Chains A and B, each alone.
Chain A
């Protein structure tokens, strides 16, 4: 960081900081320079941190009442809902919290796609972020199994069976994952153990994510490099903290609306039926946040092919910083990419819709088209655009797009000339 060396004021603080520089860390976090043009799409990092903490705290409490055994799991959830003091509230916050977490992470990811935040020098932030996303999906999947309802059981059966598609060793892998010949008590126990572990691994990755962010600093809506510690940046505290908190409050209002007024709208009624290994529910679907991948799985008319394409849909994102060869980061200055960005967003939402529909007729055809577009977007369109797209001229500074409006600068200068302050010169 280009900040000057921080030295605590008091002797005691200096003694402490020279042995363990926590105060320096705290100072860095407060003074961390952020571009002054960050918009509200940049507040989702803070919102996601809030989501992770909420899930860990409510999960910790739920674990005090939950029993991970096939004979007791379903009953223990009902006990939490009916008997445990505020159990209903804590469980509904945890269950809806998972959905809100994914909502926020999808906005966060698409923000990065729009503004090119994954590009050099921020590739590692992007890749660590994807690892967090994969961990989130694994954690959410295993958490959904714990109530041991019909959707829990059959969701677990379908997802673990994905691995049986691997040639030769697939069957052994599924048996190993199950600890038996089907999803059963050993499976429930190990999923509980891992569901408890993974969030803490996620915390570790989040620290790396933020650390790798603080080396180059934030991208910004204009996507050009910002001069640190100039008038183009502001300290994180209090400016960004206050902006993040404002957005967080709005987010919490939406979150609590679900918790209090529609706590089951994102779930499935079938999960209030206890797991039965003899009957598959007529219509099994994963939670909404996994639907696009589920649609890709079903779009391919082969078991192994479906599994390969589904995993490829995630893995391809790791290569994104190298597939998108355009030097311009922000879609604001990429007229063609901007259009394809919206097409991609539409296709992903369409895939999510199709994932919830039966795999037949028009739904199947549309899933195949959308799946094809998804891969074409990353593998063909992005490299071609990097080569042939004519981008708009980039401003010299992040202030320019605001100040370069015809006549605006003159107006500001005229207004400023009334005051003989020192800051007049710093407008340009």
Chain B
């Protein structure tokens, strides 16, 4: 075996060793990174049932789901009409009001501003919906972003009507 071959074999063995070492270190780091993600017990707390029987027209209740506020609003006729007549081209994140509700009377949304996560205030702002005091985002009566830095409409969580008086969120 020539000297050249010998060197090549050596450098191959070095490369193989370092590569295996790098893979091993990478595999060892992953648990240290993933431990920061939500664990199963946190994910399991993901449904909440809410009694809505006492909610009147034009009122909102706020409940906590996964540590976030959920707005449940029983909208008035005027609010529903106003939300329905908006043209899609006027919207930053175009979405019909009908796509955002299962029953137009009930608007269920995550009460977290899609900008940087503050809780918007109800019945206020230039579009009579919600207004975020942190950085000035305005949402309409369907919770759609109309003005300000937020990029998206208020998020609609997964929910269902268990019966006429109860909503299950999550």
Q: Which B residues are in CB contact (< 8 Å) with A181?
A: 38, 42, 66-68
In angstroms, Cα B147 to Cα A302, docked, is 11
The smallest C-beta distance from B136 to any residue of chain A, in angstroms, reads 5
B68 to A, closest residue via Cβ: A182
In angstroms, Cα B42 to Cα A183, docked, is 13
* In contact, B116 and A175 (Cβ under 8 angstroms): no
Q: Which B residues are in CB contact (< 8 Å) with A306?
A: 149
The smallest C-beta distance from A304 to any residue of chain B, in angstroms, reads 7
A298 to B, closest residue via Cβ: B135
In angstroms, Cα B39 to Cα A175, docked, is 11
Say yes or no: is A78 at the interface (Cβ < 8 Å to chain B): no
* In contact, B151 and A303 (Cβ under 8 angstroms): yes
* In contact, A175 and B150 (Cβ under 8 angstroms): no
Say yes or no: is A176 at the interface (Cβ < 8 Å to chain B): yes
Q: Using known A-B contacts A176-B36, A180-B42, A302-B151, determine if residue A280 contacts B66 with beta carbons closer than 8 Å.
A: no
The smallest C-beta distance from A163 to any residue of chain B, in angstroms, reads 10
Say yes or no: is A179 at the interface (Cβ < 8 Å to chain B): yes
* Chain A contact patch, size range: 35 or more
* In contact, B151 and A277 (Cβ under 8 angstroms): no
* In contact, B133 and A278 (Cβ under 8 angstroms): no
Say yes or no: is B69 at the interface (Cβ < 8 Å to chain A): yes
Which B residues are closer than 8 A to A by beta carbons? 33, 36-38, 42, 62, 64, 66-69, 112, 114-119, 132-136, 149-151
Q: Which B residues are in CB contact (< 8 Å) with A186?
A: 36, 38, 42
* In contact, A180 and B118 (Cβ under 8 angstroms): no
Other-chain contact of A179, B36, B69, B149, B150 (Cβ < 8 Å): B36
Can you list 25 A-B contacts (CB < 8 A)?
Answer: A158-B134, A162-B116, A175-B37, A175-B38, A176-B36, A176-B37, A177-B36, A179-B37, A179-B42, A180-B42, A180-B66, A181-B66, A181-B67, A182-B68, A186-B36, A277-B69, A277-B119, A278-B64, A280-B132, A282-B133, A303-B114, A303-B115, A303-B150, A303-B151, A360-B136
Q: Which A residues are in CB contact (< 8 Å) with B117?
A: 157-158, 160-161, 164
The 6 closest A-B pairs by CB, nearest first: A182-B67, A181-B66, A161-B117, A161-B116, A280-B118, A158-B116
In angstroms, Cα B151 to Cα A190, docked, is 29
* In contact, A184 and B67 (Cβ under 8 angstroms): yes
In angstroms, Cα B66 to Cα A178, docked, is 12
In angstroms, Cα B64 to Cα A360, docked, is 31
The smallest C-beta distance from B117 to any residue of chain A, in angstroms, reads 4
A190 to B, closest residue via Cβ: B36
Q: Which A residues are in CB contact (< 8 Å) with B69?
A: 277-278
Say yes or no: is A301 at the interface (Cβ < 8 Å to chain B): yes
* In contact, B119 and A279 (Cβ under 8 angstroms): yes
In angstroms, Cα B118 to Cα A160, docked, is 12
* In contact, A283 and B149 (Cβ under 8 angstroms): no
Other-chain contact of A280, B42, B114, B133 (Cβ < 8 Å): B133
In angstroms, Cα B126 to Cα A107, docked, is 43
The smallest C-beta distance from A306 to any residue of chain B, in angstroms, reads 6
Q: Which B residues are in CB contact (< 8 Å) with A158?
A: 116-118, 134
Beta-carbon contacts of A174-214 to B below 8 Å, as 1s and 0s?
01111111111010001000000000000000000000000
Beta-carbon contacts of A269-308 to B below 8 Å, as 1s and 0s?
0000000011111111000000000000010111110100
| Residue in A176, A180, A300, A359 with the greatest tally of chain B CB atoms within 10 Å | A180
Q: Using known A-B contacts A177-B36, A359-B136, determine if residue A277 contacts B149 with beta carbons closer than 8 Å.
A: no
The smallest C-beta distance from A13 to any residue of chain B, in angstroms, reads 43
The smallest C-beta distance from A154 to any residue of chain B, in angstroms, reads 7
Other-chain contact of B135, A178, A183, A359 (Cβ < 8 Å): A359
In chain A, positions 382-421 with a C-beta closer than 8 Å to chain B are none
The smallest C-beta distance from B1 to any residue of chain A, in angstroms, reads 46
The smallest C-beta distance from A159 to any residue of chain B, in angstroms, reads 8
Q: Other CB < 8 Å A-B pairs besides A176-B36, A277-B69, A298-B149, 18 of them?
A: A158-B116, A158-B117, A175-B37, A179-B36, A179-B38, A180-B66, A181-B38, A182-B66, A182-B112, A186-B36, A186-B38, A186-B42, A277-B68, A280-B132, A280-B134, A302-B151, A303-B116, A358-B136
In angstroms, Cα B39 to Cα A186, docked, is 10
Q: Which B residues are in CB contact (< 8 Å) with A281?
A: 133
